[in-house]
Amino acid sequence: MMRTGWKVLALVGLGALTASCKGFNASSLTRGENILGKLSAASAEAKTCKKLRAAPSVQEEYALGGALAINFVRRGGGLLLDGPNDALHRYVNVVGKNLAAQSARPTLEWTFGVLQDTSQFNAMSAPGGYVFVTRKLLQGLENEGQLAGVLAHEIAHVTLKHAIHQYGDAKVKTCELVTYGEAVLSPTAVKVLSAGRNGDGTLDLDQDPGLLGHLSEKTIDLIDKGNAKEQELEADRIAVELMLSAGYTPDDYLALLAKTKDGGSTFANHPGKDERRRNILAHVQALKQPAGAFSGLATEGLRSPPLSPAFAAVRGGNNPRGVAKDGK
């Protein structure tokens, strides 16, 4: 919504700057002070908000990740946990944690969950090691390798800190809006923002749940718009490396991608599946070593295991295709 220069000046002159990160005192305005000078000072202060793009502390990352995870679970209709779904939940965690152990951040408290959602063929992740897949997606899997590919892709987003970059943008924008008086936060939230901006750029979100809620909502808005094309391709490359490290063939992941549809609301910002396939095949080729040379990632002797019997809970029927029988 467009605002005239006079309206912005009026906001500043009427004391809206009291909600700034630093905490302007409107009572200090006297008849001899230049309102344009105050606006100039606010502009200079807003520029320092960029410091909030600094990498968050681990505590801050877990706080954000937990808030985003709650949002994902709520929107996904809850988690599949009870009764026969408990075995499925444990199985997905075993596969996921095995892959995460091969990642660049193996010490995160990795948590994997299945959402009740039967309409969206989707997976998502949050900082701190939260990864979710929908029931609809699980119903489309044919073997464990395809599950591994999906989980590895989301693990890659976490280790590459893609959502954290979006969170950094949300922090900076919030700080700027508060500085100009265009957003109102509690005094405690303003104090937390100010401490982060004037310190090392990290925030103690445990001090103000309202600020955590505000920033997580803004981050969700950015996540819903999707990652950049190169971020998706980068996550695919890391996913391939994780699969190879865990002994899965990337061919299973390619087979799953072939079943997805380009575009649409879920994959609107994703590269086309043909481009993703070329990207993955090129990366696998680049990882291959000459005969006789030591290879850090083996590209031969890989597995394509069947799904656990626990998958019968979401697939229906007796031993549906791709699901192993008990003990086999």
Residues of the chain with pLDDT > 70, as a percent, come to 78
> How do residues 31-74 score in pLDDT, each as one tens digit?
445 655 555 555 667 788 999 999 999 999 999 999 999 999 99
Domain boundaries in the chain? 43-290+302-309
Output the DSSP codes for 288-328.
---TTS--SS--SS-B-PPBPGGGHHHH-SSS-TTBPPTT-
Indicate whether 8 pLDDT > 90.
Answer: no
User: Given a cut of 60, is residue 1 above it in pLDDT?
Assistant: no
The percent of residues in the chain predicted with pLDDT above 90, rounded, is 66
Do β-strands 130-134 and 123-126 pair in parallel, antiparallel, or remain unpaired? antiparallel
Helix axes 162-179, 144-159, angle to 10 degrees: 40
The model's pTM: 0.83
Q: What's the confidence (pLDDT) of residue 16?
A: 32
Return the SS3 of 43. helix
* 319: pLDDT strictly greater than 80: no
- Does the pLDDT at position 321 exceed 70? no
The candidate with the shortest Cα–Cα distance to 124, out of 166, 71, 191, 56, is 71
Band the pLDDT of 19: cuts 50, 70, 90.
very low
User: In the predicted model, is pLDDT for residue 322 greater than 80?
Assistant: no
Q: What is the mean pLDDT of residues 6-24?
A: 33
The Cα–Cα gap between 287 and 240 comes to: 10
pLDDT confidence tier of residue 259, bands split at 50, 70 and 90: confident
Q: What's the CA gap between 267 and 279, in Å, rounded?
A: 17
| Residue 3 banded pLDDT, cuts 50, 70, 90 | very low
Cβ–Cβ < 8 Å for 201, 54? yes
Q: What is the dihedral of CA 256, 284, 305, 69, to 10 degrees?
A: -60
Token pair 């990864």: residue: 131
CB-CB contact of 161 with 264 (8 Å): no
In angstroms, rounded to a whole number, what is the distance separating the alpha carbons of residues 236 and 85?
29
What amino acid is encoded at 138 in this protein? L
Helix axes 144-159, 85-100, angle to 10 degrees: 60
Question: How remote is the C-alpha of 316 from its chain's centroid?
Answer: 31
- Model pLDDT for residues 86-138, shown as the tens digit of each residue: 899 999 999 999 999 999 999 999 999 999 999 999 999 999 999 999 999 99
The answer to whether 303 touches 247, Cβ cutoff 8 Å, is yes
Residues 124-182: tens digit of each pLDDT? 999 999 999 999 999 999 999 999 999 999 999 999 999 999 999 999 999 999 888 88
Task: Report the C-alpha gap between 324 and 141 in whole angstroms.
Answer: 13
- Indicate if the pLDDT at residue 263 is higher than 70: no
At residue 237 the predicted structure's pLDDT band, cuts being 50, 70 and 90, is: very high
Question: What is the predicted pLDDT for the residue at 110?
Answer: 98
